[in-house]
Amino acid sequence: MPVRTLMIDVDGVVIRHPQGLRWDHMIQADLGVDPARFQSDFFAVHWTDVVNGRADLRERLALALPGFAPHLTPEALTAYWFSKDAHLDEDFLTQLAVLGDRYALHLATVQEHHRAAYIWNDLRLKDRFAAIHYAAAYGCGKPEPAFFEAVAARTGHAPDELLLIDDSARNVEAAKACGWRAGLWDGTRSVAEVVAEAAG
């Protein structure tokens, strides 16, 4: 069957730091937060539940912050985080928009509820894409087969009518294993070339 919908990853594809830096590279200087403690005390402990929709981001931050950043509120930390992780790759988006006449354009991303809403509403990606599919909404994320199956079911398309563009080879292979078409995005080729090759 022909491809009907392009499923586009967010982090590393639509959102890319122009210098290739992590969003938290200045967090110690800006907020007095040790990124290693942020990783060990929050992400290692709470992130799986948060990103899969089993816990709220700010509620879990409220539990973790007293241990490594008692001077910050969950709201202050997430405001910093989201704003620093919001560099839209306008060149990619411009190239992708050209394909909007041939394909429906959706986002397929591993996000929790708050950042998904920020990406969709505050960054106005809702003006460029028809839908967003994200981990917390489905209770699972890439590269789990359940994510690809749930997204296909929501769209009503056969798996091979969906084409994922992702910067993770693992996610690309997982999508293909679920019957999707998929192409790896590394910025070295045009969006049209990646789509054409993946569509076969």
What CATH code is carried by the domain that includes residue 172?
3.40.50.1000
The crossing angle, in degrees rounded to 10, of helices 191-199 and 90-98 is 50
Classify residue 10: in a domain, yes or no. yes
Classify residue 148: in a domain, yes or no. yes
Does one domain contain both 97 and 177?
yes
Does one domain contain both 190 and 102?
yes
| The pTM of the whole model exceeds 0.85 | yes
> Which of 43, 66, 84 delimits the end of a domain?
84
Does one domain contain both 156 and 91?
yes
pLDDT per residue rounded down to tens, the chain (200 residues): 899 999 999 999 999 988 888 999 999 999 999 999 999 999 999 999 999 999 999 999 999 999 999 999 999 999 999 999 999 999 999 999 999 999 999 999 999 999 999 999 999 999 999 999 999 999 999 999 999 999 999 999 999 999 999 999 999 999 999 999 999 999 999 999 999 999 98
Domain residues for the domain of 146 are: 5-16+87-199
Classify residue 22: in a domain, yes or no. no
